[in-house]
Chain A
């Protein structure tokens, strides 16, 4: 078990299974098919991301460096939250990027019944340590505990 401390972008407490990408999450490419064709598990549709492609993202503790791609990204993330197909939380090793920040903040402010804690600045060590399937606990103070498999 190891604990990391990051910065709280959107607060909340949650425990979920880790899903890890070492390259940037292309939000549009990852969520588009899932949202468009009614996939409630939000299976990642980004063929350029071997870490995530074909894996369910809904309800997972999504661990990533940052998001990349189209500036529709924040809007797509907001829609995923509104449709209840969002990850349980998003945990960034880097400083959050403007697109992911927009999506998570829009969801936090404009959606009443959605919670998706977002923590950033967790560092490279966090992303090197965490593996798919590990149990992650996020606390409101920005601490993230990773339980080994």
Chain B
């Protein structure tokens, strides 16, 4: 890899041993992917994935201490994935004991480390940091060192920023050095689509189901999606962006997609059209039947497949302000139709602290509260990732949550019936 004089000097130790190791890490990372150079990180903020103070990740805290001790902190402020704990989310006393005293006992300690490393705000904990209410929204063409698969897919695809699917810890290495290796989704060539997806459904496809089908088919490749603009339009409205947020999270978790193009809608597809499609691209046709096949093949890993759900999580990735408002209307209407006043299954809608703050200023907040739905900034994944919660029959319309936990997937419409009418 070609290094500038400054980069080579850092690698040789001009800024100390720790910075030399940071640089070595990035050079080895680039070498693994044939990168020819390091390029400057140009985004204003970073976003890191490891937000949880799990007791088990002691080696991470040791590494962070080493970085802080050497003054090797992030050159950019950064947001983080969501917090793992919120006392508003239902949990029995044993779960609370395990969460607070055992699993996440290092949360405060870790957040203190993050402050020292460059956390942008004490409430900057969300996977949807690119929403306006959070304020970490990269611009088209900016080079990033982010992790969090759903956020990387969104900023690459919807905002046109350039970021690889980085791992936790590697994310902060890039913003400490101020450079990332130039490969993959940072390059024009790496952003070309090697799949053409033809959406030929008779109704608007469920975002998280369509994303799942495409993710499982193309894995880490870049898809160019034709026919979705029929359902989403050609403007990046709040509704379209919320759809793409959920769709992208499913492509990234059910596969490993870091970038997708939607014909006539996402910025590079609008600008470059079919010239984005690489020669010899494969084709995948999405029909109603294909989506049904994908849905029917999801394994149900509850011990009792007929168990009554004990909890419903919506918002993985975190919901947008528009989604919170839309779901308030939907839940109210469905409860009224069913003759019920409150949801029949404990239900948690998750969103960024900044989004919740804005939502609380609207009349929708009191209306949603009256339905019994809880609004939280928690990470549902972190709540579910333990043996006790793992045994609970939890339902969700998040295909990401389904993939990583024992939660059972239903479409948005089915979830609405479950929580307002008890599945009838």
Contacts and interface: CB of A to CB of B under 8 A. Distances in A.
Interface of A: 9, 26, 28-29, 32-33, 35-36, 47-48, 66, 68-76, 78-79, 82-83, 96-99, 101-103, 105-106, 108-111
B412 interface: no
Nearest to B52: A72
B399 interface: no
Contact of B28 (A97, A108, A111): A108
B389 interface: no
Contacts of B420: none
Interface residues of B, number: 46
A71 B166 contact: yes
Given A70-B149, A70-B404, A32 B60 contact: no
A71 B167 contact: yes
Nearest to B381: A70
23 contacts: A9-B32, A36-B54, A68-B256, A71-B165, A71-B166, A71-B167, A71-B168, A72-B50, A72-B167, A75-B49, A75-B57, A75-B60, A79-B59, A98-B164, A98-B167, A98-B170, A98-B184, A99-B165, A101-B32, A105-B25, A105-B32, A106-B25, A110-B21
A29 B100 CA distance: 21
Given A72-B49, A110-B63, A99 B25 contact: no
Nearest to B59: A82
A71 B148 contact: yes
Contact of A35 (B33, B56, B148): B56
Interface of A is mostly: helix
A71 B169 CA distance: 10
Given A32-B385, A98-B184, A105-B29, A74 B168 contact: yes
B338 interface: no
Interface string B203-233: 0000000000000000110000000000000
Contacts of B165: 71, 98-99
Given A70-B404, A75-B49, A101-B33, 18 more contacts: A28-B404, A33-B387, A35-B57, A68-B219, A68-B255, A70-B149, A72-B147, A75-B50, A75-B169, A79-B56, A79-B58, A79-B59, A82-B59, A98-B165, A98-B170, A103-B167, A105-B29, A110-B25
Contacts of A108: 28
Shortest Cβ-Cβ A-B pairs, 6 listed: A74-B167, A82-B59, A75-B168, A102-B167, A102-B170, A71-B147
A60 to B, nearest CB: 21
A96 to B, nearest CB: 6
Contacts of A83: 58-59
B141 to A, nearest CB: 21
Contacts of B168: 71-76, 102
Given A70-B149, A102-B166, A97 B56 contact: no
A39 to B, nearest CB: 11
Interface string B150-171: 0010000000000011111111
A45 B147 CA distance: 24
A58 B351 CA distance: 38
Nearest to A47: B301
B277 to A, nearest CB: 22
Contact of A109 (B25, B33, B149, B403): B25
A78 B60 contact: yes
Contacts of B381: 70
Interface in B170-224: 170-171, 184, 219-220
A99 B167 contact: yes
B166 A105 contact: no
Contacts of A98: 29, 33, 164-167, 170, 184
Contacts of A9: 32
A106 B256 contact: no
A56 B164 CA distance: 31
A110 B72 CA distance: 14
Contacts of A28: 404
A71 B400 CA distance: 12
A43 B344 CA distance: 38
A27 B32 CA distance: 19
Nearest to A72: B168
A128 B149 CA distance: 30
A59 to B, nearest CB: 19
A36 B103 contact: yes
B128 to A, nearest CB: 15
Contacts of B301: 47
